[in-house]
Structure 1
Amino acid sequence: MATNILVAKIWSFCDTLRDDGLGYGDYLEQLTYLLFLKMADENKEQYSIPKGCDWQFLKSTNQIVETYEEVLKTLSKSGGMLNKIFAGALNKIHDSVKLKKLIKLIDEEDWTSKEFDVKGEIYESLLQKNAENSGAGQYFTPRSVITTMVECIQPKPKETISDPSCGTGGFFLGALNYLNKKKLSKSDADFLKFKTFHGWEIEKSTARLCLMNLFLHGVGDLKETPEIEVTDSLKRCEKGEVEDFEKVNIILANPPFGVSSSDIPTIDLKQSKKDGYFLRKDFWVTTSNKQLAFLQHIVTMLKDDGRAAVVLPDNVLFEGGAGETIRKKLLEETSLHTILRLPTGIFYAQGVKANVLFFDKGNATKEIWYYDYRTNIRHTPKRNPLQLEHLSDFIECFSAGNKKKRKETWSPENEIGRWRKYTYKELIARDKTNLDIFWLRDDSLIDLDNLPEPEILLDEIIENIESALVSFKSIKENLE
């Protein structure tokens, strides 16, 4: 059965369960448990499931609800991957008829007989469905953006890859797909399976989905699992700084977009004791802004020759105070060589204006290349989603294999070119080291005879108002 048909078939059953008060996230979590048991049943020689917890026993019992609850309880105490996936697992489907129907729907498919990436794709599609419908994934990173970032970073075998706010593991899957296309030795493949990925996720249920997502794509096994920690990665440093043995080669991330946090990292030991802030000796400045805190954290996580691609909102490029200090330090201590300006309308939350910052640690910034894929570009998550082909020109301009070959497409003679560079001298001379640069003319403000459809104009107005509110909140916090 085609992936989209199977996803639609399984997902449609969620509407039936919603009448019983089961949310989209709860439904996906129950699917995670049942799908795992079905796959284990199809591959018994690889998976050792405790007696009385296997798929065949579950689907044949008459006391389905009671049995399912006992299965979850037993698996949560079984150690290894089982413990991580089923820790704290609870049954949310209390109608025996509906639970049996869901089990039957899953049982009709032979999941492990499908090609490796197909079953993973099905699960990924379910995760995206959850993001679209629940609102929980309002900043769910489009797969096209993830693939673009990975294509530009170009991970190599035996490099470690981290995401300090990994969510359901989208960036890990993007890197995994890239590396699986290479010819890997047995040693490389083992490293990829067990040692490549390191992630942190504050939500236990989301971390569970990340583990299951990786597991479905061949990462880890029942005994050894990838390092996905359920914790706030900003606060995980016991000594107030990231130690050398924890540092990684690559970071791919889309940190939380919330402006402020009640848990504030500080560089001042006295303040950490007096005000209850948590100490980060390796940060440049104290800030309550989550994106600015995560940006500092990401720099500290990288090895000296490490590289990063990070999705960040516009305010990181222009905000004063701590923002200005961080931008200056970022230019001094990393080579911030590329900024991709993303279009609005690609996230499920309105008003989000974001960029991808690409930087390498160890050398200072000499110049920044900008690619403006925002001006005069319109996308929406459902009607006109951003696809990989839309970013293919950026990937070509990026010239990952040899950045010395880069050539501007903008010039005084070609003012519509989207690829342009600015030197460090030009950037540092800007007020507050403002890196929020754009040069293309907005056609909708010029050609009155060729305005977009009213619905598109309304979407843009909403986006601009909500983006302005985020900026005002940030300004207020700086004043306070």
Structure 2
Amino acid sequence: MITGAIKSQVDKLWDAFWSGGISNGLTVIEQITYLLFARRLDELHTAKEAQANLLGQPIEDPIFNKRQQRLRWSRFKDLEAKEMYELFRDEVFPFIKQIGGNADDPNATAYARFMKDAVFVIPTPSLLERVVTMISDIPMDDRDTKGDLYEYLLSHLQHQGRNGQFRTPRHVIRMMVEMMAPTPTDVIADPACGTCGFLVAAGEYLRDTHPKMLVDKRQRSHFQQGMFHGADFDASMLRIGAMNMVLHGIDRPDIRDVDSLSTDGGEVRDRYTVVLANPPFKGSLNYDEVAKDLLQVGKTKKTELLFVALFLQQLKVGGRCAAIVPDGVLFGSSKAHRDIRQELVEGQKLDGVVSMPSGVFKPYAGVSTAVLLFTKTNSGGTDHVWFYDMAADGFSLDDKRDPVDANDIPDCIKRWQKRSAKKDTDRTAKAFMVPAQEIIDNKYDLSINRYKEIEYEEVEYDPPEVILDELEKLEAEIAGDLKELRGMLS
């Protein structure tokens, strides 16, 4: 976690852009990202230099050649404002854009493709000098600090009106990743990736739980090129997402500019072993815009249902999914709602449902949500469904979302990992299992309140006569006090 001091520095950096005339949150993030990337390139080159000097050999794959040394962060950051501005605008920024190769090359990296239309819009030399100095003063000594710093920057998007819908709280993402527990051989996807938060978190989880993975040449190659896949149709978000991946050490993710629900996205089927996603809610598409195989699962225009169908189509048999859905998916009465739930319960293996409190997505949305966890089998397999009633996520459930002590997430993960149909039978507990047949009998209703039992404590009251006697006694005492007070005033 980054410290309060670093957060304060980031907040001042953000304020500098606003006072400098750049008020769009996505634009601010993009411009800061370009500067962070310029700094990272210099750090990587410095590390290569140190290794070459230690071994007494030439630098292997240098980032900057001899003629490009002036483009390094450490060289231009102390220049006079006007000179720095002209150098960054005319040379450094074009250099950054072409790092990933030719954007028109079919084999170009996601970074190269999405940087093609990137624009440097910092308006004045004084603003560039100011923010470069601020970024230089922020300590970024290790990968975790860089990642936390970037995530904190992205957290500002939640205050930027409609843009906030693209960001899922990081602690919720981590919970879902831990529940899926990806392995070094998995192929992981988010078909509505936005800033790539799920993919980044999956990468961090793998680094922490499988540290030897990046030492093995084959596994390292898979991690860098074949493991992570994402799609979105917002150019700015894709650019930020690609940057997020690169800043977290994943240089060649497969990030695509495509609407996953459309016919254009239909080519990706039976491909992934893990899907992690928070797809858009409350959207509606025309039938002719939607890939036809998705409508076969449930004929609907609602994006939250279409995405569940999409996850099933994109997963390989045996693949697992954790996806956030609005509560309406759990109990909606339309035929499409029931068809989707029936498919999960009878056609696939529905593993669990985590009911989350309605304040998780505040301040920009108050909708109640849940996490669906399922495995693609194409042959059924649902015996029992695990339910968890999350009442707190470690933050206040109002618009401020301040940290609080109450937090069910660690308990949720622990109980999920130890779930047992034989032991999890107490329906007054936080977690319990429900037989599939009971869910079928309830028209595939997956709302936790349908199955959770609430214990009511019996409260005993005094008989009415005793209560009336107490009231008369109190009235007499009040009357006596008033009489005494009048006597003091006369």
TM-score computed with the length of structure 2 as normaliser: 0.77
Question: Which of 230, 233, 252 is residue 202 of structure 1 equivalent to?
Answer: 233
User: Does the Cα contact within 8 Å between 2:389 and 2:448 map onto a contact in 1?
Assistant: no
Alignment partner of 1:370 is 2:387: yes
Query: In 1, Cα distance between the equivalents of 2:121 and 2:454?
Result: 53
Query: In 1, Cα distance between the equivalents of 2:3 and 2:18?
Result: 23
Quote how far apart the aligned CAs of 1:248 are: 0.6
State which structure, 1 or 2, has the greater radius of gyration over its C-alpha atoms: 2
Query: In 2, Cα distance between the equivalents of 1:386 and 1:323?
Result: 36
Counterpart residue type for residue 341 of structure 2 = R
User: Does the Cα contact within 8 Å between 1:42 and 1:110 map onto a contact in 2?
Assistant: no
Deviations 1:170-223 (A, max 9, x none): 111221222112232512233222221001122111112211211122112xxx
User: Does the Cα contact within 8 Å between 1:337 and 1:369 map onto a contact in 2?
Assistant: yes
User: Does the Cα contact within 8 Å between 2:2 and 2:148 map onto a contact in 1?
Assistant: no
Question: Which of 213, 223, 240 is residue 244 of structure 2 equivalent to?
Answer: 213
Query: In 2, Cα distance between the equivalents of 1:376 and 1:118?
Result: 23
Structure 1 equivalent of residue 306 of structure 2: 293
Query: In 2, Cα distance between the equivalents of 1:385 and 1:406?
Result: 36
Alignment partner of 1:15 is 2:15: yes
Can you give the 5+ residue segments of structure 2 that lack an aligned partner in the other structure? 49-60, 103-107, 460-490
Quote how far apart the aligned CAs of 1:440 are: 5.2
Query: In 1, Cα distance between the equivalents of 2:75 and 2:9?
Result: 24
Alignment partner of 1:191 is 2:222: yes
Query: In 1, Cα distance between the equivalents of 2:358 and 2:421?
Result: 30
Say which structure, 1 or 2, has more relative contact order (CA 8 Å, 6+ apart). Answer: 1
Quote how far apart the aligned CAs of 1:334 are: 1.3
Quote how far apart the aligned CAs of 1:153 are: 1.2
Counterpart residue type for residue 285 of structure 1 = G
Alignment partner of 1:101 is 2:130: yes
Q: How do residues 53-132 of structure 1 correspond to structure 2 at under 5 angstroms? A: 53-55=71-73, 58-59=76-77, 60=79, 62-71=82-91, 72-73=93-94, 75-77=96-98, 78-79=101-102, 80-81=108-109, 83-84=112-113, 86-109=115-138, 111=140, 114-132=141-159
Task: Give 3-state SS (helix, strand or coil) of 1:250's partner.
Answer: strand
Counterpart residue type for residue 413 of structure 2 = I
Can you give the 5+ residue segments of structure 1 that lack an aligned partner in the other structure? 267-271, 447-480
Q: 1:422 to 1:227 in 2, by over 3 A?
A: same
User: Does the Cα contact within 8 Å between 1:379 and 1:385 map onto a contact in 2?
Assistant: no
Counterpart residue type for residue 430 of structure 2 = R
Aligned residues: 416
Q: CA RMSD in A?
A: 3.0
Q: Report percent identity of matched pairs.
A: 29
Alignment partner of 1:179 is 2:206: yes
Quote how far apart the aligned CAs of 1:142 are: 1.9
Query: In 2, Cα distance between the equivalents of 1:241 and 1:91?
Result: 34
Structure 2 equivalent of residue 167 of structure 1: 194
TM-score computed with the length of structure 1 as normaliser: 0.78
Deviations 1:37-60 (A, max 9, x none): 111112224662584654356543
User: Does the Cα contact within 8 Å between 1:73 and 1:89 map onto a contact in 2?
Assistant: no
User: Does the Cα contact within 8 Å between 1:375 and 1:440 map onto a contact in 2?
Assistant: no
Q: 1:278 to 1:405 in 2, by over 3 A?
A: closer
Alignment partner of 1:399 is 2:414: no
Q: How do residues 240-319 of structure 1 correspond to structure 2 at under 5 angstroms? A: 240=266, 242-244=268-270, 247-257=271-281, 259-262=282-285, 264=286, 266=287, 272=288, 277-282=289-294, 283-319=296-332
Query: In 2, Cα distance between the equivalents of 1:230 and 1:206?
Result: 10
Q: How do residues 415-454 of structure 1 correspond to structure 2 at under 5 angstroms? A: 415=428, 417-431=429-443, 433-438=444-449, 439=452, 441=454
Query: In 1, Cα distance between the equivalents of 2:196 and 2:62?
Result: 23
Quote how far apart the aligned CAs of 1:116 are: 2.0
User: Does the Cα contact within 8 Å between 2:258 and 2:264 map onto a contact in 1?
Assistant: no
Deviations 1:319-347 (A, max 9, x none): 21211111112222211121000011111
